[in-house]
Amino acid sequence: MPVMTLRDGRSLSFNIYGDPKGYPVIFNHGFSDSSLIRNPDDTLTIALGIKMIAADQPGVGSSSPYRGRKMVDWGWDMEELANFLQLDQFSVLGHSGGAPHALSIAYNIPNRVHKISLASPVAPLGEAGVTSMLKNRDLKLIARIHRIPFLIRWICSFAARSAIKDIDKFIQQTALEDPSDAATLLGNPKFKEMFKASFRTGMSQNGEGLYEMIMALWDWGFELSNLNNTVQIFFGKKDDIINFNMPLYLAERLPHAKTYTWPEAGHYGFVNRDNWSEFLSSVL
């Protein structure tokens, strides 16, 4: 996996797949995930003529930690990556906690971002009532103790060590706690191997990436009302991680947003074959 050095000396690892001569799209992964998350059949991405560029967020994979970061800082990192790869204009995708990362790119360099699409996006957790839209038990706990960073850091470290020690057990437990995604996580061996690799990478730095994203989800560092790009939002009605009202709330806060529903999908349903093709096609 390629690694570049950013202006401040930090490392940024990224993954490129799809059509090497295709239209560039920057993908932003979610919480506990990594640049490896995708539909494992790359012929789908190639057939759409997309060159996918997926970067590991701080503390994930080989990307350096960035203590105290806000979402807005990611936009500057992606501008550097776009310059490094000589991308003039490109589109942006984001899943779950990757949604604010995607929006930060459009906030920082709006004239270079062609289209934006989000899947199962989170909203700013620091805004009134937003944490009540969380459904996952662990995320609810984090919301209650988010002002105790040392405790959150310990939880992230413990969770990461436990997951990497027995990744199969972690996948099984995730499917048990998130039944709407059980078939996606376990139903196909190629999907299961993809998720195992992605989760391992996402938690590889002793949970540092988990901790840093959690802390950044509260204050994004930019106002949604200042985003003038059109944003397309896809979400599953059977999501067991966040209530589907959260993507709708985010859409209401954005000046130009359109929403699309996947009736049978869970939080990770965006990687399923038809949804993946629809999601990627939306930014062409």
**Per residue in 80-138, pLDDT tens?**
999 999 999 999 999 999 999 999 999 999 999 999 999 999 999 999 999 999 999 99
How far, in Å, CA of 171 to CA of 59, rounded? 21
Q: What's the rounded Cα separation, in Å, for the pair 212 and 71? A: 10
For the chain, list residues with pLDDT below 70: none
How far apart CA 235 and CA 275 sit, in angstroms, is: 10
Q: Is the dihedral angle over the CA atoms 109, 110, 112, 118 positive or is it negative?
A: positive
Task: Give residue 123's pLDDT.
Answer: 98
pTM (2 d.p.) = 0.96
What structural domains does the chain harbor?
3-281 (3.40.50.1820)
What pLDDT sits at residue 118?
Answer: 98
At 114 the pLDDT is 96
Count how many Cα atoms sit within 13 Å of the Cα of residue 180 in the half-sphere of its side chain: 20
Q: Which of 97, 106, 100 is nearest to 71 (CA)?
A: 100
H-type alpha helices, the chain: 42-47, 71-84, 98-108, 137-144, 149-165, 167-177, 182-186, 189-202, 208-216, 245-253, 273-281
